[in-house]
Chain A
Amino acid sequence: MADAIDLSRFVKHGAAGTAHMTLAVEGVGCASCIRKIEGGLKQIPGILDARLNFTNRRLAVDWCDSEFDAARVIEAVERIGYRAHPFDLERMEADEARRAKWLLKCLAVAGFAVMNVMLLSVSVWSGNAGDMTPQTRDLFHWLSALIALPAAGYAGQPFFQSALAAIRARQLNMDVPISLGVVLALGMSLVETANHAEHAYFDSALMLLFFLLCGRHLDHAMRRKTRAVAANLAALKAEFGHRIKESGEVVRVPVEALKAGDRLLVRPGDRVPADGTVIGGTSEIDESLVTGETMRRPISSGASVYAGSLNFSGALTIKVSTAGPGTLIDEVERLLNKAIETKSRTARLADRAARWYAPVVHATAALTAAGWLIAGASVHDAIVTAIAVLIITCPCALALAIPAVQVVASSVLFRCGIILNCGDAIERLAEVDTVVFDKTGTLTLPEPRIENAAAVDPALLEKAARLALSSHHPLAATLAREARQRTPCEGAVEEPGRGVRAIIDGREARLGSAEFCGLDDCAPTRSDEEGVSFISFVHAGRSAVFAVRQALRPDAASVVNELRQCGLDIVILSGDRPSAVAPVAVALGILKWTAALKPADKIAALDRQKAAGRHVLMIGDGVNDAPALAAAHVSMSPIGAAQIAQAHADAVFLGDRLLPVVAAISVARQARRLMSQNLGLAVAYNAAAVPIAIAGYVTPLIAAVAMSGSSLLVTCNALRARRSAAALERMDAAG
């Protein structure tokens, strides 16, 4: 569109008149794209620098403020052949990026320290068996202390901070026993070194930190990656509104910059960018993304419209307003707040494990010390043995057991086109026994399809579809998708609210309402049957009537079948009319369905399921589904969903298919199995190692072997989650 764009929100102005902007770029796929984009931009005078990040598909552009403006940067990228969308980097990910760097630094320091201390430790171990003098051993221990203490003080911060926060909140998490173990091991080793003892545990403490930091870093990197993709998708989907200035000039502005009181122009085929009241024009709007209702609603001045509705026939002027009391949006907000408040945060597996693990371990250590004292050992020996118990039980394996599986499973899900919003969604997905679908946009495709495309002569269909390319009408957009050749007809004229006409092969062709095409008598006008719209086409005496209808997602039936075979109960809760829901339920063989539900009714239905002890996976896309998505045990949204719905879903899936739902559940179930196995392995390791420690036979060498052995074991076991590749292959096979 030729309107000026106001991008001031996204541009950062630097010193000396330079400006900087980050763009999410669509369609970057290969090495030559980098050169094309960067090279193309740098040739333009005024642009100082352009750098494309191939990992997250973002382009950073610097230019001279006086010679250039932001809109021209986007145009320039478009001329090179890619679509670019402005992106607010600061707000979205600055904190994340800083934390990732910090974790990596901690990991580097821990890695450096553990390597050097191990160098000294191995010498001591072999020296103890050989002819090392006590003086040399002391020197090596002091050198280890010199490296280990500052390194652990720096690299241990992520754990110490989190442990302190937990203790302040009077809770226990896994970081409490970790921090305690590390601090005690270092403290004891220091005292032992001062007393010229044979063993010091500097290497154990550092190795523990190193392994755990590896886990933390991988976990964080995976989450950052999915979040970056999600943020890019949000930027690609970001909508612009057409604001009418005082002067009558129309400017495109990002939706976030709209204020109450702004006057907006909504053209036919546009989505309404913000809630408001119509102050001019009449039209029909499709509110399926808002309420789930597929029947279009005629509106005129004074009617209120909601963000996300699709404007059909006429241009509208609306005045932006904040949601007043009693409106749908207001109700959704209220229900959302309530749902989030009352949502009982299910305790995560790792936290549950930490809650019993820490007391048991600390009690064991105390009992060990007491036992040795009673048996007549010296205080020093009793305490050293007790600390050895703490070191050997330091939950290295336990702390890796669950995150390692989560990292592997979420990367498998990521490749299946499922983006997780929160890490513990995997655990909750595995517990699901009931799947609740919304109908509109979830079981059906978000956009309607031409129902009788196969019945129409292909040549005629192609002509109609090419003519449809010139129209802004949403029904025409549906027809236009059928066009094989993407060049619009020359000289096409659109008559708003009626149709388009053009001269094709010397004869006039018309596409639009039956009346416009002169087919009044022979074509069904509209909506004789519910949920179907008709477009007529006439050219050179031949005519066709296209039926446009909401179609099921291509694999809806097979997915529903498969879910049923997995032993899941399937329910439809829809906001649409019963007469629109019934055929879908019949086609999919779903017996439990309810229609005409308001957002509050959906929550009530979910609560009934919850009361019956069921764990519900809610899948929905509309604004009206958002409270239900937040209230359900776990929830998913398709990528076409309203923003508010996506924000409250635990996972978002890409593409036209429902197969990701099946993949998500099967991957999650396998991951859950592996998590339990890993916890079992960690417990078995402790059961074997603790008696040795209590008996006082744990040397630093045994601690090092046991610790790295158990960590490797659980990590390798977690890697088996990649075997869900079976699910992956099916996704690939399906396209």
Chain B
Amino acid sequence: MNVLVYLVPLALLLGVTGLAAFLWSLRNGQYDDMDGAAVRILPDDDVEPPGLPSATRTPIVTMAGAAERMDRRE
């Protein structure tokens, strides 16, 4: 049963770490805009095309960008 001496504190430590992480994320405002987080990942125009020097970078056509251009045409 000596194994309990370090297993129980370890289990508690894991639990406390989880709780602390949650409280931190709550304070950090990560639950303020749940729907926003889901869609903010979609636009990918901040991705730089691989292999091009940044000076000659051309904008990539993205889904979000294309949708926007369609919007404008209407």
Contact = CB atoms under 8 A, between A and B. Distances in A.
Contacts of B45: 35
Contacts of A119: 11
Interface in A669-690: none
Contacts of A101: 26
User: Is chain B's binding surface mostly helix, strand, loop or mixed?
Assistant: helix
Contacts of B33: 53-56
Contact of B67 (A32, A108, A120, A143): A32
Contact of B15 (A30, A31, A54, A112): A112
A116 B11 contact: yes
Contacts of A31: 39-40, 42-43, 64
A34 B39 contact: yes
A112 B4 contact: no
Interface in A85-129: 101, 104-105, 108-109, 112, 115-116, 119-120
Interface string B45-74: 100000000000000000011011000000
For A116, A120, A139, which residue has the most chain B Cβ atoms within 10 angstroms?
A116
A136 B40 CA distance: 51
A34 B4 contact: no
A36 interface: yes
Interface in B10-27: 11-12, 15-16, 18-19, 22-23, 26
Contacts of B11: 116, 119
A32 B64 contact: yes
A400 interface: no
A52 interface: yes
B1 A136 contact: yes
**How many A residues touch the partner, as a band?**
20 to 34
Nearest to B68: A32
In the complex, which of the residues A32, A101, A120 has the most CB atoms of chain B within 10 Å of its own CB atom? A32
Q: How large is the interface on B (under 10, 10 to 19, 20 to 34, 35 or more residues)?
A: 20 to 34
Contacts of A143: 8
A139 B2 CA distance: 13
Nearest to A97: B32
Given A30-B39, A108-B26, A55 B68 contact: no
A52 B36 contact: yes
Nearest to A147: B12
Contacts of B31: 104
B22 A108 contact: yes
Residue in A31, A53, A115, A143 with the greatest tally of chain B CB atoms within 10 Å? A31
A53 B32 contact: yes
Contacts of A116: 11-12, 15
B12 A35 contact: no
A491 B33 CA distance: 47
A224 to B, nearest CB: 11
Contacts of B18: 112
The interface centre, meaning the residue of B18, B19, B23, B45 with most chain A CB atoms within 10 A of its CB, is: B19
A53 B64 contact: no
A340 B19 CA distance: 45
Given A108-B22, A108-B23, A112-B19, A54 B64 contact: no
Given A30-B67, A32-B64, A34-B40, A54 B19 contact: no
A147 B19 CA distance: 13
Contact of B36 (A54, A104, A136): A54
Given A104-B26, A105-B23, A36 B34 contact: no
B71 to A, nearest CB: 8
B37 to A, nearest CB: 8
A147 to B, nearest CB: 8
Contacts of B40: 31, 34, 54
Contact of B68 (A36, A56, A108, A112): A36
| Across the A-B interface, the 8 shortest Cβ-Cβ residue pairs | A54-B36, A31-B39, A31-B42, A112-B19, A32-B64, A55-B35, A53-B33, A116-B15
Interface of B: 1, 4, 8, 11-12, 15-16, 18-19, 22-23, 26, 31-36, 39-40, 42-43, 45, 64-65, 67-68
7 contacts: A32-B43, A32-B64, A32-B65, A32-B68, A34-B43, A112-B16, A115-B15
Given A34-B39, A34-B43, A35-B43, 13 more contacts: A30-B67, A32-B65, A35-B45, A35-B64, A36-B68, A54-B35, A54-B40, A104-B26, A105-B23, A108-B23, A109-B19, A115-B15, A136-B1
